[in-house]
């Protein structure tokens, strides 16, 4: 069952000219249907169950789903669509993974189809069944709409039989496509068919001595014993090498769309040629760029660089990960811990903008694509509580709040938030609550060790002292505490100091100059130990006037610098130990 999709006529109309990349991809499918006359569209993503689902698995399913949503809106949801999550679980196990228990148990089944390898975790009938279950749990946790397919079940149930017999019939054409892509020595023994050994159960990579088209069989010899076998290519008695297998699957299932990583460009072309040789039409799709680690190197599962999906979700939300996948899929992007806060905040910004946007802007907004046209309402917070207009509390704001509160306890952070907005709680704002917890964890693990506090020079100290004095007028009910009023006073302090005046700013006059970024940089560097920070008026309103004045006092006394130096020494000693 497909997820519900808003079919607002204004959205359908806007979809016809929408330029977001999922709509560009969806238009290729509209044109494909005009050529083929098909009455439905099949999307596919692939998964190799020799390992657990990873961040690339999420990215491929998420991006494919975005194209599916765009197609459904583009066509008024009048054409049925399906998404297959296909597991190549008939593949032979090539090596024992490093991250499993009972390695000896698995090692005894090297070469066998993954569905015939014992489950080292002892919970399922095979290693593949265990990992397939994890895949389905993984996809279900993100709410993806898909149908799971197992290669083993498809082969054994005869779903591929007709196309496998076509491969046998057009064997020479398939070989003519594959052989030029192989090394010379590999060419000598290559066959697209991999028979399953009837005695050992191993997926055999052997030359084919004879093809019997009438019988639908291949004849081959065991390279160790010389024994001759005749194996049907149907019914799960043999499988295909992965590039012919990919092509066969496209043809047998009627796949219309499948994307792949840039590293598979040549494989996509070869499989496309084979699909044509089998009388089929290769699917539409595009090649997305690969991820980079913090050093700009390509992420490799064997190297273990980059980060896992569990690591991302420890510090960032699932929606922020979805946004990361949506943005610029054809550009190589750094996938490491320091990209998470920006993605979280960008998601919150897009979510806050969505309700006020027109149809055209909504289809350019990533949250439409992340939530199948049904993004949740933004969680807004206002100092007055009640029904007054509010704003989103950003992740960067929370990180700074954790820093100056000197506590990673979410309860302490909520104390500040509730004082600012009494009607807000973890129950009314569950998304904010999850961000509070993630911010506390992220700050402790990544932000705090990287902070760089500095002492203020004489001019900076004088301006900060002036800010300390003016904030005193907000204490004890002297003036209403609003982010706007505090922000205006911060600007006024900057205007009063020649170093911070900006006469080139829009609307600036000698009597009322603009304020340069240098003044705010001073605040962030001296008070927060950061090169940049949140809108400081909003921060003060949230953190508290009294607390901010105490923070300024500690900075002017040099205590923030000395306390952080002591923290770094302790951390260094812990690492050395």
Binding residues for ATP: 301
Residue 493 near residue 463, CB atoms below 8 Å = yes
Our CA angle for 452, 458, 460, nearest 5°, is 55
Nearest to 367 by CA among 332, 402, 340, 327: 327
Nearest to 69 by CA among 148, 12, 140, 10: 12
Using the structure block, give the residue that is written with the tokens 């065991």. Answer: 222
Reported as half-sphere exposure (CB side, CA atoms, 13 A), residue 383 has a value of 15
> How many helices, marked H, and strands, marked E, lie in the chain?
25, 14
Nearest to 430 by CA among 445, 412, 419, 414: 414
Secondary structure E strands in 109-198: 147-150, 193-195
Residue 367 near residue 347, CB atoms below 8 Å = yes
- 3-state DSSP call for residue 19? coil
SS3 of 77-127: CCCCEEEEEEECCCCECCCCCCCCCCHHHHHCCCCCEHHHCCCCCCCCCCH
Alpha carbon 363 to its chain's center: 20
Widest Cα–Cα separation across the chain: 98
- Annotation: binding site: 301
Instruction: Provide the 10 A C-beta neighbour count for residue 452.
Output: 11
Buried b (16+ CB within 10 A) or exposed e, 287-307: ebebbbbeeeeebeeeeebbb
Nearest to 378 by CA among 346, 350, 352: 352
Q: Which residues pair with 239 in a beta bridge?
A: 194
* Measured distance between the N- and C-terminal CA atoms of the chain, rounded to whole angstroms: 56
Q: Residue 531, exposed/middle/buried by CB under 10 A (0-12, 13-18, 19+)?
A: exposed
Helix axes 559-576 and 545-556, enclosed angle (nearest 10):
80
Residue 402 near residue 443, CB atoms below 8 Å = yes
List all residues 6 or more positions away from 492 whose beta carbon is below 8 Å from its beta carbon.
Answer: 470
Nearest to 471 by CA among 458, 485, 460: 485
- Rounded to whole angstroms, the Cα distance separating 379 from 433 reads 11
Cα–Cα distances in Å, from 167 out to 159, 194, 211, 281?
A: 14, 12, 11, 15
Residue 402 near residue 413, CB atoms below 8 Å = yes
């Amino acid at each position: 069952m497909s997820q519900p999709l808003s079919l607002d006529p204004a959205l359908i109309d806007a979809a016809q000219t929408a330029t977001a990349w999922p709509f560009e991809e969806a238009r290729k499918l509209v044109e494909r249907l005009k050529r083929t006359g098909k009455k439905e569209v099949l999307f596919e993503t692939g998964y190799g169950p020799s390992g657990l689902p990873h961040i690339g698995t999420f990215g491929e399913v998420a991006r494919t789903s975005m194209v599916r949503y765009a197609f459904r809106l583009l066509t008024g949801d009048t054409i049925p669509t399906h998404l297959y999550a296909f597991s190549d679980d008939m593949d032979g196990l090539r090596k024992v993974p490093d991250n499993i228990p009972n390695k000896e148990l698995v090692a005894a089944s090297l070469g066998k189809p993954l569905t015939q390898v014992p489950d080292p975790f002892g919970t399922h009938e095979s290693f593949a069944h265990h990992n397939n279950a994890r895949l389905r749990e993984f996809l279900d946790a993100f709410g993806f709409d898909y149908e799971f397919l197992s290669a083993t079940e498809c082969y054994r149930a005869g779903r591929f039989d007709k196309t496998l017999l076509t491969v046998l019939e057009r064997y020479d054409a398939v070989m003519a496509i594959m052989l030029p892509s192989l090394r010379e020595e590999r060419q000598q023994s290559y066959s697209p068919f991999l028979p399953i050994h009837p005695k050992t159960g191993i997926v055999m990579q052997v030359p084919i001595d004879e093809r019997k088209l009438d019988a639908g069989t291949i004849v081959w010899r065991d390279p160790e014993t010389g024994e001759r076998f005749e194996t049907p290519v149907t019914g799960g008695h043999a499988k295909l090498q992965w590039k012919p297998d990919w092509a066969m699957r496209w043809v047998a299932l009627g796949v219309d769309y499948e994307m792949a990583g840039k590293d598979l460009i040549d494989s996509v072309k070869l499989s496309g040629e084979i699909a044509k040789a089998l009388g089929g039409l290769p699917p539409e799709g595009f090649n997305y760029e690969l991820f980079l680690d913090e050093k700009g190197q390509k992420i490799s599962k064997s190297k273990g660089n980059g980060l896992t999906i569990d690591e991302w979700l420890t510090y960032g939300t699932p929606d922020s990960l979805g946004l990361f996948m949506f943005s610029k899929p054809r550009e190589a992007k750094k996938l490491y811990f320091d990209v998470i806060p920006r993605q979280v905040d960008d998601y919150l910004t897009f979510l806050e903008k969505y309700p006020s946007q027109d149809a055209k802007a909504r289809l350019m907004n990533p949250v439409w694509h992340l939530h199948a046209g049904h993004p949740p309402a933004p969680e807004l917070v206002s100092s007055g509580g009640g029904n007054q207009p509010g704003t989103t509390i950003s992740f960067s704001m929370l990180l700074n709040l954790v820093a100056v509160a000197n506590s990673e306890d979410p309860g302490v952070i909520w104390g500040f938030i509730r004082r600012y907005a009494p009607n807000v709680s973890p129950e009314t704002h569950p998304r904010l609550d999850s961000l509070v917890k993630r911010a506390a964890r992220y700050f402790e693990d990544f932000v705090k060790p990287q902070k760089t506090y500095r002492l203020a020079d004489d001019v900076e100290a004088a301006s900060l002292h002036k800010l300390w004095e003016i904030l005193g007028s907000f204490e004890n009910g002297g003036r209403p505490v609003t982010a706007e009023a505090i922000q205006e006073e911060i600007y006024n302090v900057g205007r009063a100091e020649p170093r911070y005046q900006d006469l080139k700013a829009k609307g600036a006059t000698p009597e009322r100059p603009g304020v340069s970024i240098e003044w705010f940089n001073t605040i962030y560097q001296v008070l927060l130990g950061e090169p940049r920070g949140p809108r400081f008026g909003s921060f003060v309103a949230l953190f508290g006037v009294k607390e901010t004045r105490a923070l300024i006092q500690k900075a002017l006394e040099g205590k923030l610098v000395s306390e952080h130096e002591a923290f770094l020494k302790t951390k260094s000693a812990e690492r050395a130990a």
